[in-house]
Amino acid sequence: MRMFIGNRDVPLQIAEELGWYLDYGPRARDHTWGCALLSKFPITKSKHYLMPSPEGELACAIHATLDVGGDALDVLVAHNGQEETPLDRELQTKLEGEILKNATNPIVFIGYVVTTPSMPNYNWLVSDGNAKDIDPTDYDRWCEYIVYRNLEKVGYARISHGGITDTEIQVGRFRMNTNTDNVKEVKLT
């Protein structure tokens, strides 16, 4: 809810129009970038983070558990600081890696990390988080990433790649419960 968009609650409007579930993390009006999680699956619990920001780049994250047809799926949504604050980005990415590593359910990270593949922030997220990059061959990324653990990747597409990294749209499709007859596919954007 910002003045330049008429103080409208845009995530709530989108959730209502789609008939989806919504969870807010720390909001932009709380002096951070703001986070929202929209899900077509019920959100059974969530934890909000105002990420470490000693140099002042207040970033946010939401770690939520979704009920996907009776099975739990964790989702971590985050928006890290910018390149002007390397210490903030380092601490934020290390915390995200810890959340990924400690998750007991299958988990997907969808976030804005501000790094290129194989750089330290990327490695803290993927290697230290014990997770897989949805497309480890795509070295033409700077900010937006999807990583996951304990799921089977079924598909991935980068729908757009604009000149500004915030304009990317990536879609991932995953399969849960591959060892049972109750297989579920989940699409995340």
Domains of the chain: 22-188 (3.60.10.10)
Q: What is the pLDDT of residue 127?
A: 94
What contacts 104, CB < 8 A, 6 or more positions away? none
Instruction: Show the CA angle centred on residue 21, arms to residues 94 and 30, nearest 5°.
Output: 50
Distance, in Å, from the CA atom of 154 to the CA atom of 109, rounded to the nearest integer, reads 16
CB–CB of 74/102 below 8 Å? no
Q: What is the pLDDT of residue 29?
A: 66
Token pair belonging to 99: 């959340």
CB–CB of 184/175 below 8 Å? yes
Q: What is the pLDDT of residue 71?
A: 94
- For 151-169, b where at least 16 C-beta lie within 10 A, e where not — what string? beeeeeebeeeeeeeeebe
Q: What is the pLDDT of residue 123?
A: 93
Q: How far is CA 148 from CA 16, 109, 172, in A?
A: 28, 6, 10
Token pair belonging to 154: 């079924």
- For 5-24, b where at least 16 C-beta lie within 10 A, e where not — what string? eeeeeebeeebeeeebbbbb
Distance, in Å, from the CA atom of 26 to the CA atom of 32, rounded to the nearest integer, reads 7
Please confirm, yes or no, whether 48 is among the known catalytic residues: no
Distance, in Å, from the CA atom of 39 to the CA atom of 58, rounded to the nearest integer, reads 24
Of the candidates 31, 48, 63, 79, the residue annotated as catalytic is: 79
Q: What is the pLDDT of residue 64?
A: 97
Q: What is the pLDDT of residue 164?
A: 61
pLDDT digit string (tens) for the chain, length 189 residues: 555 556 567 778 888 899 999 998 776 666 677 788 999 999 999 999 988 888 877 788 999 999 999 999 999 999 887 777 889 889 999 999 999 999 999 999 999 888 888 889 999 999 999 999 999 988 877 788 999 999 999 999 887 766 665 667 888 999 997 555 555 666 665
**pTM score of the predicted model:** 0.87
Q: What is the pLDDT of residue 11?
A: 79
Helical (H) or strand (E) element with 96: helix 86-102
